[in-house]
């Protein structure tokens, strides 16, 4: 049971750091999101997903369009 939690939080941490890199955050903020992903898992992914949607909306990309 604990192994599953550790693996899922580790996956969330790696994805959080990657998304922070894609958003152009500094290395310090990337490390903060990595640690946050380790501790809080999917909550950090949700926060970064909102950042990605807002960035796409500002740039006029298809990911920012709702309808």
- Residue 64 scores a pLDDT above 70: no
Query: Alpha carbon 50 to chain centroid distance?
Result: 9
**Number of domains observed in the structure of the chain:** 1
Q: Dig out the tokens for 20 from the structure.
A: 């922070």
Domain residues for the domain of 26 are: 2-64
Span 10-63, pLDDT tens digits = 998 899 988 888 888 999 998 998 899 889 888 988 998 999 888 888 887 776
Q: Dig out the tokens for 31 from the structure.
A: 């490390």
Question: Which residues, in sequence order, are CB contacts of 38 under 8 Å at separation 6+?
Answer: 9, 10, 12, 13
pLDDT at 66: 62
This prediction's pTM: 0.77
Confidence of residue 5 (pLDDT cuts 50, 70, 90): confident
- Residue 3 scores a pLDDT above 60: yes
Separation of first and last alpha carbons in the chain: 41
CB distance 10 to 35 below 8 Å = no
pLDDT at 28: 93
């Amino acid at each position: 049971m604990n192994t599953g939690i550790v693996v899922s939080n580790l996956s969330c941490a790696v994805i959080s750091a990657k998304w922070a890199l894609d958003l152009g955050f500094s290395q310090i903020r990337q490390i903060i999101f990595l640690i946050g992903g380790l501790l809080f898992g999917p909550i950090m992914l949700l926060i970064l997903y909102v950042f990605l949607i807002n960035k796409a909306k500002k740039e006029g990309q298809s990911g920012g369009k709702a309808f």
